[in-house]
Chains A and B, each alone.
Chain A
Amino acid sequence: MVFPHASLRLCLTRIGFGLTCSALSLGVALAQTDGASEGQRAAAEAAAALAGGEADEPVILKTPAVDTRRVYVQDPAHFAAVTQQFIIDGSTGRVIGMTDGGFLAHPLAAEDGSFFAQVSSVWSRIARGDRTDYVEVFDPETLLPTADIELPEDARFLIGTYQWMNALTPDNKKVLFYQFSPAPAVGVVDLEAKQFERMLDVPDCYQIFPASPTVFYMNCRDGSLARVDFANGETSVTNTQVFHAEEELLINHPAYSLRSGRLVWPTYTGKIYQMDLTEEAAGFREPFEALTEAERADNWRPGGWQQTAYHRQSDRIYLLVDQRDQWRHKTASRFVLVINAETGERINKIALGQEIDSINVSQDAEPLLYALSAGTQTLHIYDADSGEELRSVNQLGRGPQIIMTHDMGS
């Protein structure tokens, strides 16, 4: 179901007013011709209220309670100085709220649904002047900020948003953010004390995969993972074995489950590396090829932005693929492979019917497959099992790229 009108979405945000919403809902619904829609339902309700002599009482709404099918869509807007995040109910395809962010704001979601947050950057004169990096924490139902924590000067790595360049620790007490220049470092933000804690010096490694409240892993230039332990004010770094060759290029968008510690990391050709990260160590699984030899010979390769998803309960991997030249790895794809992560066996090859840049899944027992097109600014929602498209949500900013969920399932 397509959400009918951008202005209607404002009704559901913290800046919306009931009177305006009712009027807009009516207007939008009258313009609808494609069968039952959210707008038509709202119009019928408003008409019935009017006929019943019910007065309009403008209020600021809350979102429905957080569940596993809530999905956040972050729009970096092609490097615009200010950005937006859309909060969507995946079950109905309704936008239920929005948040504003600065330049390349990085979204984070507590797996238990207790809050969501972002690491962001703003300037005193929009895109110039004094820069402020900060972490903002939001109540998940009022969408009001509950913390605003300033970071050290120029601390953030400003880059096209990679899902795991910043992370929450599994106990939801710290935000870990990456600094690229002048030297690799990870910043620690204490959400309980609501203050920046310290920078950790790390080796030439990238991305952050927390495995415990004080241990996280990173992927290093030398082909190993770094294990970083920052307990008790110290920083202890050790490296694992080198697990991939120099010519095997790992993509920028691995999938990781904070709940189970599984890291799923494809290469440009679709070879899947998997690691089980615990506080103690990284366990490496036997890698396998997601694409058959015949497919690889026929130019099938992964491609897009957020190309990998992992469903924890079913232990399934979802990978965005299509036929493409070797160096068109950031163009959209039209197919998703569904793979048994334990055996490497293919379960399904879903034809999306759309040019899709990013995918993710809800973490409930009957998951939804989210497929996002930056080109059409539309989120398509599929049954992850059958691959049937159920509904879609359009007008999601200018170039939406990141899909984030809460892993609240058992």
Chain B
Amino acid sequence: MNSGISRRSVLTGLGLAVIGASRVFAQDRISVLHEKPVPASDVPADAITVEIDKMKYQTPEVTIEAGDTVYWINREVMPHNVAFKEGIVAEGAFRGEMLTKDQAYAITFTEAGSFDYFCTPHPFMRGKVIVG
């Protein structure tokens, strides 16, 4: 689960909940549509995706616009997730839910910047989202 949500994050989240009425929670620089993983079949056809396979994020670097949503899809039985060290997307650390095979997890990036992420149980798996 996510951790280290600051007061500002909570307020931002509440704001988004009122305005957008769709995000389950938000950190300072991201928001998350579904706290739990969703089936890969639910990922929109035109979505920006990062496939996870063979202990790697297959597209280690993606460049998007602020407001875009990235979907990570795990294609192997080894569980993986998306996590950020403290200070990257919020004051505290952020840890996405673990994905098993053919599950997806979506994060919307709300601010410009470069966001390094990693897999919690496999810290040698790393990737980056650049928000223009």
Residues of A within 8 A of B (CB): 180-184, 204, 221
How far does the alpha carbon of A182 sit from the alpha carbon of B81 in the complex, in Å? Answer: 13
Nearest Cβ on chain B to A154's Cβ, whole angstroms: 10
Nearest Cβ on chain B to A361's Cβ, whole angstroms: 34
Contact partners of A181 in chain B: CB under 8 A: 120, 123
Chain B contact patch, size range: under 10
Contact partners of B85 in chain A: CB under 8 A: 182-183
Interface centre among A180, A181, A184, by most B CB within 10 Å? A181
B83 interface hit (Cβ, 8 Å)? yes
How far does the alpha carbon of A118 sit from the alpha carbon of B111 in the complex, in Å? Answer: 44
Interface contacts (Cβ under 8 Å), in number, total 18
Closest to A220 in B: B124
Interface residues of B in 83-128 (CB under 8 A from A): 83, 85, 93, 118, 120, 123-124, 126
Nearest Cβ on chain B to A31's Cβ, whole angstroms: 51
Interface centre among A181, A182, A183, A221, by most B CB within 10 Å? A182
18 contacts between A and B (CB under 8 A): A180-B123, A181-B120, A181-B123, A182-B83, A182-B85, A182-B93, A182-B118, A182-B120, A182-B123, A183-B85, A183-B118, A183-B123, A183-B126, A184-B123, A184-B124, A204-B123, A204-B124, A221-B124
How far does the alpha carbon of A204 sit from the alpha carbon of B55 in the complex, in Å? Answer: 13
Closest to A179 in B: B123
Contact partners of B124 in chain A: CB under 8 A: 184, 204, 221
Contact partners of A184 in chain B: CB under 8 A: 123-124
Given contact pairs A182-B93, A182-B120, A183-B118, enumerate 14 new A-B contacts (beta carbons under 8 Å). A180-B123, A181-B120, A181-B123, A182-B83, A182-B118, A182-B123, A183-B85, A183-B123, A183-B126, A184-B123, A184-B124, A204-B123, A204-B124, A221-B124
Q: Mark B4-23, 1 if CB is under 8 A from A, else 0.
A: 00000000000000000000
How far does the alpha carbon of A183 sit from the alpha carbon of B93 in the complex, in Å? Answer: 13
Closest to A153 in B: B86
Interface centre among B83, B120, B123, B126, by most A CB within 10 Å? B123
How far does the alpha carbon of A129 sit from the alpha carbon of B118 in the complex, in Å? Answer: 26
